[in-house]
Amino acid sequence: MPLSEAERDQAVQRLQHAYAEGHLDSAEMEVRLEQALTARSPSTLATALAELPDERVELVSTGGRIRRSGAWRVPRSLRIIGEYGGANLDLSAADIRHAAIEIDIQLAYGSVLLTLPKRASVDYDRVRLTWGSATHRPPRNPGPSTLHVQVSGELGYGRLKIRHR
């Protein structure tokens, strides 16, 4: 399947970010940029991005609700930060390119609703709750897991509810 210009642009941005953070020297940057710009397949593009540090995306809200649903691209590491409000994250139809993802929740006041694909496993033992609760309702007969979600972080006043589509 041929690569789109958007995929190439995203790879170039990731390389530029890695260079700016000191993960690549100028010679390595030049070689990898050439690979990314001339890549004709996803595997060639993956070679240009090999061994780069994983991206962490932070979603921040001071007073509203963070919502993601539909075909949104899920990074390997996602951090939810908020004072008031909360988050609704629906992964059931999302573009998930990793076998395991991490979600770090840092909310003072607010709740999180996490909707997973039917065949996903989840571990939320590293979530610290001050006042509130964490619940998970596993699916019936989910079959073998295709995705593992590690949830960690801190909820001051609120709930964590995990369900499967």
pLDDT above 70 for 1: no
Confirm if 114 and 141 have CB atoms less than 8 A apart: no
DSSP H or E run through 121 = strand 120-136
The 10s digit of each residue's pLDDT in 35-81 is 999 998 888 888 898 888 777 788 999 888 999 999 998 988 899 99
Question: Which pLDDT belongs to residue 86?
Answer: 92
Query: How far is it, in rounded angstroms, from Cα 7 to Cα 10?
Result: 5
Q: Where are the alpha helices (DSSP H) in 21-161?
A: 26-38, 42-49
Pairing of strands 65-68, 86-90: parallel
Q: In percent, how much of the chain has pLDDT > 90?
A: 57
pLDDT above 70 for 121: yes
The 10s digit of each residue's pLDDT in 83-98 is 998 999 999 999 998 8
Q: Which amino acid is at 141?
A: N
